[in-house]
């Protein structure tokens, strides 16, 4: 089969969805199939992959949304993609890359699958303070998703979050995998990390891996650790990751007297090193109700590291409390109570980690194999014309761009010039909203 994967982020931007698209492409290619990845252009990037990567024009909106915003309406890019004889299109973001996917579907008449990875309502509210723009982005998201032929969610909780946004269709749960193999790294690698980062011996080491953002539950972690320190419970806390609120988090830790027991490592890109950190930790602290899949929790399980999670969260799906993880209420007191419990010995934490490795681990190879089997069903349904015709239009995207333009004049001038240059219908649409 021949698959087109599209997304709004891809290396050099690193996030969970970009990682998912990368692994989909690698596993599809490794399975003897063909795939092409279509993503926004980044200056100076060289795409050296075994599969082709097509870059479409983008605008520098990193200060607003954290990544570049693509222009999916370039006729030459769409024409080049349409010549690839794709069997289906699988998009992983409901904004620019979704519009490209819908336009491409209008040219090649092949099904579009969308995977819902993250709680975009939270991301929108965090990135955009303007109510009008928030509503425009949310409407665009739901309209775009509703236009797809099939919708997947990485967890049941993610699918229900999508429903809460106003999506009224069906969805299929298709979990993401992890690109780490089961097993531990050599002890000398763990020892080297301890020495290099001044990790003390003989105390529990707690680990957080992910974006350094408050909505990841980091305040719960720090407040709980303050309780532990006040009660003279020995420990060492390691934060691995980066994010826009990294500075605030470090200041908060310092103001609460935690600097001596916390290590802020920053982002780790080498997979062998991240494995060593997972193996070094005794327990993962991940009290996030934001994440839809908890990818780092599954990564940790590959290295036999169990996690403390919020009861009822998406990251906690598949977790049995006290066996392959620990479930708590969403507050610092609950976390502190668990960590202060004398029954939570080092041996107990390691036993939970062993169960996690056996019971919740899912490799990308298996995850994408499941997806490929579903691809075959979607392709057959498409050949039998079982999918109803969906509106093929970029009007809603252009309306969203107009609302962005009202706030960002620089983007407006450049974007409108490009649209007027490449699309005849843009003028009438812009006039409607101007």
Q: How far apart are alpha carbons 289 and 140 in whole angstroms?
A: 24
Alpha-carbon distance values, 358 to 28, 181, 292, 302, 315 (Å)? 25, 12, 21, 8, 17
Q: What pLDDT shows up at residue 179? A: 87
Q: What pLDDT shows up at residue 422? A: 56
> Regarding beta strands 69-70 and 58-59, do their DSSP bridges make them parallel or antiparallel, or are they unpaired?
antiparallel
Domains of the chain, CATH where assigned: 2-177+366-389 (3.40.50.2000), 187-361 (3.40.50.2000)
pLDDT mean for each 10 residues of the chain (434 residues) = 96 85 96 97 93 93 77 90 97 92 94 91 68 76 91 93 91 93 93 96 96 94 98 97 93 97 93 95 95 87 97 92 97 98 97 96 95 98 89 52 48 53 53 50
Q: What pLDDT shows up at residue 411? A: 47
pTM score > 0.85 for this model?
no
Beta bridge partners of 58: 70
E-strand stretches of 192-278: 205-209, 236-240, 262-266
Q: How far apart are alpha carbons 415 and 57 in whole angstroms?
A: 10
């Amino acid at each position: 089969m021949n698959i087109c994967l599209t997304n709004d982020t891809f290396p050099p931007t690193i996030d969970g969805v970009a990682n998912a698209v990368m692994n989909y492409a690698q596993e599809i290619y490794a399975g003897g199939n063909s795939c092409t990845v279509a993503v926004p252009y980044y200056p100076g990037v060289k795409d050296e992959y075994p599969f082709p990567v097509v870059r479409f024009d983008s605008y520098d909106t990193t200060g607003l949304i954290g990544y570049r915003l693509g222009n999916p309406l370039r006729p030459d890019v769409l024409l080049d993609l349409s010549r690839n004889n794709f069997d289906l299109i699988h998009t992983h973001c409901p904004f620019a890359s979704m519009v490209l996917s819908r336009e491409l579907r209008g040219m090649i008449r092949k099904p579009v699958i969308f995977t819902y990875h993250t709680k975009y309502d939270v991301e929108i509210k965090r990135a955009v303070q303007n109510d009008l723009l928030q509503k425009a982005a949310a409407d665009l998201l739901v309209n775009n998703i509703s236009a797809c032929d099939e919708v997947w969610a990485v967890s049941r909780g993610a699918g229900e979050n999508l429903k809460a946004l106003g999506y009224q269709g069906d969805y299929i749960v298709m979990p993401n995998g992890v690109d780490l193999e089961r097993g531990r790294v050599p002890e000398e690698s763990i020892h080297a990390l301890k020495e290099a980062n001044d990790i003390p011996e003989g105390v529990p080491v707690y680990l957080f891996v992910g974006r350094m953002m408050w909505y990841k539950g980091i305040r719960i972690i720090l407040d709980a650790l303050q309780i532990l320190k006040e009660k003279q419970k020995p420990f060492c806390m390691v934060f691995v990751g980066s994010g826009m609120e990294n500075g605030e988090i470090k200041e908060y830790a310092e103001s609460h007297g935690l600097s001596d027991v916390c290590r802020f490592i920053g982002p780790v890109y080498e997979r062998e090193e991240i494995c060593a950190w997972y193996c070094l930790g005794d327990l993962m602290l991940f009290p996030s109700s934001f994440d839809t899949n908890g990818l780092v929790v599954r990564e940790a399980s590959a290295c036999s590291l169990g996690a403390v999670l919020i009861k009822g969260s998406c990251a906690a799906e598949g977790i049995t409390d006290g066996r392959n993880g620990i479930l708590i209420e969403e507050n610092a007191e609950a976390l502190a109570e668990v960590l202060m419990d004398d029954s939570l010995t080092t041996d107990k934490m390691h036993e939970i980690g062993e169960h996690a490795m056996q019971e919740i681990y899912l490799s990308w190879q298996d995850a994408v194999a499941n997806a490929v089997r579903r691809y075959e069903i979607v392709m057959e349904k498409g050949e039998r014309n079982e999918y109803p015709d969906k509106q093929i239009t970029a009007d809603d995207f252009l309306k969203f761009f107009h609302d962005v333009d009202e706030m960002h004049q620089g983007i407006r001038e450049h974007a409108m010039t490009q649209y007027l240059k490449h699309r005849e219908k843009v003028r009438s649409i812009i006039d409607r909203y101007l």
